[in-house]
Amino acid sequence: MDFPAMEPNMYTVKAMLIMDSDGNRLIAKYYDDTFTTSKEQKGFEKSLFAKTSKASGEIILLDGLTCLYKSNVDLFFYVIGGSSVNELMLVQVLTCLYESVQKVLGKSFEKKVFMDNLDSIFLIVDEIVDNGIIVELDSSAVTQRAAIRTDDQQSPMGEQTVASVLLAAKEQLKWSLLK
């Protein structure tokens, strides 16, 4: 029995989703035209959450798509691929997404802190997958590329701005006195 050879395809990820514990979309990135309208996307997300919210597994096949998921108390992480995609690749994407978000949120792995850091989470998603192509699978590299600082390395942006303004004013005053 001959099986048709599958062409290698770099477009392995169809969608990445993060939902809250009620099944509401927090982040959704769809990379192909599997679900073209917002209504189709919401319907898929509703059925996906219904199947996975009470389940104990990590992978399901839904509507011909391979869906990998990981949950925490408040958050559900999903990586969606085609039915012929290698599940191990999708597991690596899911793990990278989960660990990168965990590095940003620290010990407060809950919805409120997640929403406070939403801009950083969007950068993480974009650093991992670009138009369905897996770009990076190392969570340390992702958080570094997204220019995300952990709490112990972070200095307030306001202080940096004030310091640079004071330095510029000091230089300007020095030059005006020397003339």
For residue 7, being part of any structural domain is answered with no
Q: How many structural domains are present in the chain?
A: 1
Segments forming the whole domain that contains residue 129: 13-148
Contact call for residues 18 and 87 (beta carbons, < 8 A): no
**pLDDT one digit per residue (tens) for the chain, 179 residues:** 555 555 667 888 999 999 999 999 999 999 998 898 999 999 999 999 999 988 777 999 998 999 999 988 789 999 999 988 889 999 999 999 999 999 988 888 888 989 998 999 999 999 999 999 999 999 999 988 876 544 444 444 444 566 666 677 776 766 666 65
CATH of the domain at 123: 3.30.450.60
DSSP string, 59-99: EEEETTEEEEEEE-SSEEEEEEEETTS-HHHHHHHHHHHHH
For residue 155, being part of any structural domain is answered with no
For residue 40, being part of any structural domain is answered with yes
Residue from 124, 31, 108 nearest 72 by CA: 108
CA 113 to chain centre: 15
What's the pLDDT score for residue 148? 54
Beta bridge partners, 29, equal 16
What's the pLDDT score for residue 76? 94
For residue 23, being part of any structural domain is answered with yes
